[in-house]
Structure 1
Amino acid sequence: MTAPTSRNSRLPTRIAATSALWLTAALPVATLPAHAQQPASPLPPAARQAVEVTPLSLLAASDQTFGVTGEEETLSIPFHMPATVRGRPATLKLAYENAVHILPGLSQFKIALNGLELGNLPLTGFEKPVSASIGMPAGYLKPGLNELTVNYSARHRVSCSVAGTFELWMRLLPDRSSVEILGKPASDLPILSDAAASLAMPSQSGRGLTILSARADTGADHVAWGADVAQGIALRLGDQTIVPRPEPAPLRAPDGDSLFPGLDKGVLGDSRNVLIGTADQLSAIVGSRIESAIAGPYLGLFPLGTSGGVVLVVSGRTPDEVTSAARAFANPNTPLPATADTILAAEDVVSLPDLATFPKGRPVPLADLGYKTREFSGYRFTQPLSVTLARDFFNLDSRKAILRINAASAPGIGAGSALSVFVNGQPAAALPLSRMGELIERRDLHLPMSLFRPGRNEILLAGDLPPAEGAPCLPEQSTAPRFSLFSDSTLMLPEYARLAQFPDLGTFARTGSPYTDGTADGFDLVLMSKSNEEVAAAWALAARMAQAAGTPVHPRFSFHGSTVPAGDALIIGNHRSLSRLAGLDLPVRQSDLTAAWGIGTDPSFVPAEEQPEQGEADEVLAQIEALRSVSRPGPDTMAADSEARDRWHKIIKSGEDQSVINTVSAAAEDVVASVRQHFPAVFGQARREETDLFASELSIPTGLLMQVESPVTPSRTWTILTAANDEQLAAGVERLVRRPYWDRLAGSATVWGADPAGTRSIEPSSTYHRFDSDLRLANLRLIAGNLMSEYVWYWTAGLLLLVASFGLVTRSFLGLGRGDNHD
């Protein structure tokens, strides 16, 4: 471990670094290295003909951005490659364009792959696109995850101002850029360790990921297995969106294939597929090679025919073994072997990953957040940072986070120069910079914790460095460093309260809460009609929630009519089926949904059995009332406590007895409920002015996501995904799980359509809270302290009123006493 460095010992280093800022340094434009200009070694004619070309638009995620702006920025493009790239050279072909205001000679971008530098590409002052070809020797591309990094640096042609930096940009053209794999693969057989990459690779036919069912009737077990596999793929791919769709396996007469004799390969072609079921269910599909290998929880990855298709087989001798195999695949910590298939033993089970949150109460260097000290010679310095807080972070905190700045600025910057800090897009603090140049040592900026939110938070450091008044504008000579932020600058967050607040679709999008909180009773995922579109939506949402939380979720799948969810639930169905949810107070009126989606809706999209009947609605109300009666107070309960219902009774399913967590959590929940009842403004109970989600002047949305408090168990949450019909439900969820739609979820209800700019949300009219993880007395003290500090005037007024009342009562007693003495 390196010994700690004192302030005095760092001072000479700071002075040397500051002196370097005052020196003028030219920025040479390097040329491509030799291996980037041509292939590393000539290939034989037969090998030169074996070229696999994949456009960058297909390799990268559909919501990947390819542009950069300003003077300096880094762009990361993750993509996945199959096992067949191992040991093969490749060629990276890039097409790009940039702003005409860019100054050639001093503007360029560096290309790196998996940390290996490929070379520098110049930026020109022309509007037409530019193409470049970079050769990569064998070993640069690897199976699985690869990362292409673009380090962009640009100067304005004529402007020397902060405003001029907003005119600079560069973007890659993904449809005209590609990766060409040369030579022949050493082996055509895929391996399990590359399963996620192989299944995420785009097919030439354009077919997406398909989860095949061996039987016509898809039961809850198959839906659950598909959700586990979708989460396993998504978690192994990082942030890449996964939208699998269910299909029955296309069967045919056995064709003699040793792997999949019962599958119609002409239908599947080069598609990416997952085949799930017990050994008996798959017996008519798989061949002897696979059937004989299923001797326990089984995973196997095999080629499909000769068209380039691939199939992941998840199986076992019993449904329990299939569940074990699917859940092992869902866990990203489970190591997958470099073989075609495997039997998972008990010792292969590993613990699930935990959500890594930012530490509290101690300073964390920016170097630990991935930042490296850099010298900046432009006019607007920007550096993004990300901080992840607990999913139940309570943001009524009056205390501050401390950003301790160690930096240096050069003389010659203009008036108004400052380093500004933004938290989640909101201004948080600013540090003026001296025009004479200075060494900034341990300068503290206080960031309000009220700007932070549960889950991922974005912090942006932006330094505006205008030129000094009267300074000559010579962009080609402006290469001297003007500002540097040192990586030993620190960020320290205070101890914060932990109390989950709902409804909040923003927290749901960032952390998956409350469905990823790890509560003992789990949650239900209810499909209102069990259509293929609802199943696909459930798988896509489960995969995205797992990515948000960093760990898989395992809901209880059910189809409406079998049971009423007693705890947390995620409900999916078209808007007509929502009428079955009798007694539910939705943030959007059913009449508004009918007015927006009911007119012109083809009734064929809604099966006849989905039409609600009065008897069915009455039955649902009866079930809800029966569940409510379990925790209803008895006749001898005090009237003052009737509103403080017990929040900590958990019902696993309809008709089961409840279980109490403990008296501490129950008492804590009663305190919150009581404060919520008597001080609604403290907990945001005041009704806000709502935005009309279905305003006539706005386009009709294709999807709606709502979050409400459970009508069965107080403080539990129901999240409802709906659309006009099943077809729009499928299209809506495919948009929702991608950026920027997913990042725009907020409030208690959000609607979206074809244009991301049309995404609209409404704030909740009331909120509710619950404790999920931290029942310590210190946490309760923090919550009370937060409330008192946020509403100090209310508490002060109450205290003065109490003192005045005490004085009046005392005066009355003293007056009575003097009267008695006089008598």
Structure 2
Amino acid sequence: MRSLTAITILMSLAATNAGALDAPRAPGAASIASLTPVAPEWSRPLPVSAEDTRLIGEAATREFPIFLTAGEAARMAKLQLAYRNAISVMPETFRLTVRINDVIVGETAIQNANQTETLSLNVPVGVLQAGFNSVRVSVRQSHRVDCSVNSTYELWTQLMPEQSVLSFAGASGEIRGLQDIAAVNLGRDGTIPIRVRTPSNREPVEMSRAARAVQAAVMLGHFTYPRVELAWEAKNEPGLDVIVGTASEIARAMGLKVPGIGPRHHLQHDVQNGSVTLIVTGDTEAELDAALDTLLQQAKEVAPQGSAAGIRALKNASGWQVEGGETITLADLGGESEPFRGRLHRQTVRIQMPSDLLAADYDRVVVSTDAVYAAGLLPTSKMIIRVNGAAIADAPLANAAGDVLGKRSFFLPISTFKPGLNTIDFEADTRTAADAKCSLEALVDQRERFLLSGTTEISIPSLGRVGALPNISSVIPGGLARLSRSADLTVFVPKARPEAVETALTALAKMASVSRDETKVRFAFDMVPAGTPHVLALGAYDDMPEATLKAAGLDPEKLRRIWRHPATRAPAVAATMPRVQVASVGEVVELAPNGPGGRVNVDSTGSLTLAASPGAPLQSSKLLKVFDNENTGWLQDHVKSAFASVTKLVSGSVSHASLLETGRREDLPLTEASTLVVAQGARTEGLGEGWQGKLLPRVSSTTVFVAASAEHLSHAVTEILSGSLWQQFVGDAAVYSANNRSVSTRVSEHILLVPTEAWSLQNIRLIAAGWLSRNIPIYLGVLLGLFVIMTAFMQWALRSSGVRES
């Protein structure tokens, strides 16, 4: 069986090595210079985000989903791809390959570090499909003079999105319905500009309706990086304009008459400037709300259309969504299966875990790798698997004759993942003895050293599903809405500054993009309504009430000292942003006692801590009463002694786990360059009746995004949501510095669990196992207590039966 697996993988290696020869090619794609479409009339920019423009390392791949209308897909097309290289790239070994829907349409070996190169490729009719398509760019490159592993980080090829387009002959690219809204062109920064235009004053109820329309548009268009702004007038540039209001208000304020009667929406496209307008309206406010309900329901049910490769690229754009209990392959995740010829193989896949994931050691993700490595690698060579940057598992590649890793299993604990976006990195050190000498022969050595097959499987077990507070990583995946039974959220924007409102709408749009669900929002501009369970507050420090900051675990006094002179103007780009100081976390907040003989404390994150009255006597339990007679006094004393020992052990363990005592935590590392603070606090609203109400009491939370000014807030939040930076936001508080794009975080030891779905026996088991995995001393103490009780019971039973020891 092992030899059969080896033969299969080696055949895959040979087949993949054929690469450009055996891969399906479109006619006319054998050379770069071929028939040119006559007079292209329409061009669509490649959807390349800012962080995906650079391909780093000896082998790197980027895949982009691009949506085409039926008219565009039926026409002859031409792809123009602009790029440039690092000066350290060796021209003799450079190769760039372009695939569209897994069909090779062209490749080049042209490399120039001094200027931008432009690759022009014809895409004949039949390769593209209506809907989503995949554009895949792969590079192979090696260093000019260095054979070390560190030198591989100096290799890069930079894509130039502003000069890279897909052009069509005789097509207009007109968007005629909601099914084509995904064809809205990107802005220069790689985001989708969504401009909210309101017919009257921006009151909270209007912003709440606008947020619903924006979320519907994002889900309909499958927009990965939306950016929302408020606008009074239409702009002569690409993007999506969203207008929400009654028909009479829209006609009076904007002069637009929407055809039809009753709840309705209308879509129009200006092909000259690329702007698309979505109008959601009705003759009354009730009809307007009905139109929003219909649009959102349609958005939730819409399924993406396009080629298989295009759907794959779309699913991987923001991370493959998993729910638990499924198996996915490396090929599904867009992994590359071409033989590797360098010294450090690196490949990264992205997975979106549920927003209510319980990250604990109750189970593990199993990675079953199909890989093969060549003979002659150094004995120290090994393959490493990382989760979110941390090395979790490895396997040696030490066989001097080479070997096959057929379904080799690696185990990744669930505790190494987090809600939302996670990365799994595959690394392999494939150096040889010749690399140490780094002769000319070693520099140009292009023999195949390693192959990680696309049949590699990642098996996700059943996942524990429960909300955990505080945990800011669950915010963008939509975790806040899941904490409430009605799935609603209060968005508090004090003083309603336009930049802060735009930031709130952008955050809500990103939540809809990731979760594929609506967050029912109620905007508040003056104060948070009483009784609000969960609040998301965004604004400048000067605008944010102290009570809101304290509820999120921030210290207003420290903020006041640090932001004494906040900047009044946001920079045009993050690199030139003035250095701004931000808040550290604050003091312990004392809540009112929850009853006589006990108290409830909330630390700076608002986490629940329970403490019994000191010196409370041990109460006699029903179990002790069983032995409560004159003949079993010795047994009662024995069991009481055992209970006291176990209680002491458990109390010490709980105290060590910060469940009984509130300790002061370290402040976040802050510098003058810090730009944005994100913090979350949680608190209980009182213990309910019954065991469930006591174990899982009602919980409220406050999440704050705060910066020195509304302008800085807008720029910082847009930047962290326009890529994978949000992946680094974990724990109860984080500080972002824009000048070096760094994130400093702090993880709280005080966690409150909040139900997010109907209870099931399996979910309860996973939650209990997860809790015990984080409280090992308590688990051992309970086992010890059960052992002592069972031993005492057996002794009592034997004595009662009349059996005597001989």
The TM-score range, normalised by the shorter chain, is: 0.7 to 0.9
Correspondence 1:679 to 2:629: no
Paired residue for 1:347?
none
Write the distance in 1 (CA, Å) between the matches of 2:384 and 2:451: 14
Inter-partner Cα distance in structure 1 for 2:567 and 2:144: 55
Residue 451 of structure 2 is aligned with which of 484, 494, 511?
484
| Residue matched to 1:153 | 140
Distance 2:177 2:126 in 1: 18
Determine which of 441, 444, 449 is the counterpart of 2:409: 444
Deviation at 1:706, TM superposition (A): 1.9
1:213 pairs with one of 195, 198, 204: 198
Give the Cα separation in 2 of the matches to 1:230 and 1:280: 21
Measure the CA separation in 2 of the matches of 1:470 and 1:706.
Answer: 48
Q: Which amino acid aligns with 1:745?
A: F
Matched with 1:426 is: 390
Alignment match, 1:169? 156
Residues 317-376 of structure 1 show CA distances to partners (whole Å, capped at 9, x for unaligned) of: 2223322333443453455999xxxxxxxxxxxxxxx9942533x765545545575433
Contact 2:42 2:172 in 1 (8 A): no
User: Using a 3 Å threshold, how does the CA distance of structure 1 residues 166 and 33 change in structure 2: closer, same or farther?
Assistant: farther
Give 1:575-654 correspondences, 5 Å limit. 575-579=541-545, 581=547, 584-599=550-565, 639=597
Instruction: Please name the residue that 1:534 is paired with.
Output: 500
Does the 8 Å contact 1:29/1:120 carry over to 2? no
**Matching residue of 1:223:** 207
Secondary structure of 1:397 counterpart: coil
Which of 376, 395, 417 does residue 340 from structure 2 map onto?
A: 376
Contact 1:596–1:694, Cα closer than 8 Å, also in 2: no
Task: Give me the whole-angstrom Cα distance separating, in 2, the residues matched to 1:307 and 1:380.
Answer: 46
| Cα shift at 1:86 | 5.6
Q: Which residue of 2 aligns with 1:298?
A: 264
Contact 2:300-2:517 within 8 A present in 1 as well: no
Contact 1:106 1:476 in 2 (8 A): no
Counterpart contact for 1:413–1:466, Cα < 8 Å:
yes
Amino acid at match of 2:406: E
Alignment: residue pair count = 697
Tell me the secondary structure at the aligned position of residue 265 of structure 2: strand
* Cα separation, 2, equivalents of 1:336 and 1:799: 50
Q: Quick one: which amino acid aligns to residue 771 of structure 1?
A: P
Normalised TM-score (structure 2): 0.74
Other-structure match for 2:243: 275
CA 1:692–1:157 in 2, change beyond 3 Å: closer, same or farther?
closer
TM superposition score normalised by structure 1: 0.73
- Given residue 165 of structure 2, which amino acid in structure 1 is its aligned partner? V
Aligned match of 2:612: none
Answer yes or no: is the 8 Å Cα contact 1:699–1:758 preserved in 2: no
Secondary structure at the aligned position of 1:529 is classed as helix
Aligned to 2:681: 708
Partner residue of 2:667 out of 691, 694, 702: 691
- State, as a whole percentage, how many aligned pairs show the same letter: 21
Equivalent position amino acid for 1:226 in 2: A
The answer for the alignment partner of 2:28 in structure 1 is 34
Structure 2's unaligned 5+ residue stretches are: 306-318, 570-589, 607-649, 687-697, 796-806
Q: Is the contact made by 1:88 and 1:181 (CA closer than 8 Å) also made in structure 2?
A: no
CA gap of 1:777–1:274, structure 2 versus 1, over 3 A, is closer
C-alpha separation in 2, matches of 1:534 and 1:91:
41
Moved more, 307-316 or 797-806: 797-806
Contact 1:299-1:325 within 8 A present in 2 as well: yes
Q: Single out whichever of 112-121 and 299-308 deviates more from structure 2.
A: 299-308
2: CA distance, partners of 1:788 / 1:186: 61
* Offset, 1:590: 0.4
**Is structure 2 residue 520 aligned with structure 1 residue 554?**
yes
Instruction: Indicate the residue corresponding to 1:179 in structure 2.
Output: 165
Counterpart in the other structure of 1:197 = 183
1:459 equivalent to 2:424? Answer yes
- 1:785: how far off? 3.6
8 Å Cα contact 1:159/1:475 also seen in 2: no
- Equivalent pair of 2:566/2:708 in contact (CA under 8 Å): no
Aligned in 2, Cα 1:233/1:116: closer, same or farther, shift over 3 Å?
farther
Q: 2:713 aligns with which of 725, 729, 737?
A: 729
Kindly provide the amino acid, as one letter, of the partner of residue 60 in structure 1: P
**Shift of residue 461 of structure 1?**
1.6
- Counterparts of 1:83 and 1:487, CA distance in 2: 31
- C-alpha separation between the residues in 1 aligned to 2:494 and 2:86? 51
Q: For 2:169 and 2:92, locate their aligned partners in 1 and report how far apart those are by CA, in whole Å.
A: 36
Are residues 1:766 and 2:750 paired? yes
Where does structure 1 lack aligned partners over 5 or more consecutive residues?
1-7, 251-264, 339-353, 604-624, 648-674, 812-823
Q: Of the candidates 468, 472, 486, which is equivalent to residue 505 of structure 1?
A: 472
SS at match of 1:405: strand
8 Å Cα contact 1:21-1:481 kept in structure 2: no
Shift, 1:75, TM fit: 0.8
2:613 corresponds to: none
Deviation digits for residues 522-566 of structure 1, max 9, x if unmatched?
A: 222223223323321221110011122222222233333472242
Deviations 1:21-67 (A, max 9, x none): 69997887999973574574663xxxx3x75567x5xx535534211
In structure 2, the CA distance between the partners of 1:369 and 1:686, relative to structure 1 (3 Å rule), is farther
Give the whole-Å Cα distance in 2 for the aligned partners of 1:65 and 1:274: 28
- Structure 2 vs 1, CA of residues 471 and 436 (structure 1 numbering), >3 Å: closer, same or farther? farther
- Counterpart of 1:435 in structure 2 is 400
Determine the C-alpha separation between the residues in 1 that align with 2:12 and 2:567: 69
1:417 aligns with 381
Q: Please give the secondary structure, in 1, of the residue aligned with 2:503.
A: helix
C-alpha separation in 2, matches of 1:748 and 1:643? 17
Q: What is the root-mean-square deviation in Å for CA atoms of aligned residues?
A: 4.6
Matching residue's letter, 2:667: T
**1:778 and 1:226 mapped to 2: Cα distance?**
39
Give the C-alpha shift of residue 694 in structure 1.
4.6
Partner of 2:644: none
The 5 A counterparts of 1:230-241 are 230-238=214-222, 240-241=224-225
Structure 1 pair 710–142 and aligned structure 2 pair: CA distance change class (3 A)? farther
Deviations 1:81-132 (CA, angstroms, capped at 9, x unpaired):
6787465544433332223443434431111234443200214375443232
Letter in 1 for 2:533: G
In structure 2, what is the Cα distance between the partners aligned to 1:370 and 1:20?
A: 17
Matches of 2:328 and 2:159, distance apart in 1: 35
Superposed displacement of residue 394, structure 1:
2.2
Change (3 A) 1:681 1:775: farther
Q: How far does residue 312 in structure 1 lie from its aligned partner after superposition?
A: 1.7
Letter in structure 1 aligned against 2:470: P
Aligned to 1:564: 530
User: Structure 1 residues 239 and 426, CA, compared in 2 at 3 Å: closer, same or farther?
Assistant: farther
Contact 2:733 2:746 in 1 (8 A): yes
Matched, 1:395 2:389: no
Alpha-carbon distance, 1:416 to partner: 1.0
Does the CA-based 8 Å contact 1:227-1:539 persist in structure 2?
yes
1:429, 1:445 within 8 Å by CA — same for their partners in 2? yes
> Partners of 1:336 and 1:808 in 2: how far apart?
63
Per-residue deviation at 1:218? Answer: 2.1
Q: 1:739 to 1:144 in 2, by over 3 A?
A: same
Q: Distance in 2 between matches of 1:418 and 1:207?
A: 42
Deviation at 1:422, TM superposition (A): 0.9
1:62–1:25 Cα change, 3 Å: closer
2:4 maps to: 12
SS at match of 2:299: coil
- Shift in CA distance, 530/144, structure 1 to aligned 2, threshold 3 Å: farther
- Give a deviation string over 1:194-243, Cα, whole Å, max 9, x none: 23433x44499x9953221111x223332122112222333344453222
Give 1:326's aligned residue.
292
Do the aligned residues in 2 keep the contact of 1:574 with 1:723 (CA within 8 Å)? yes
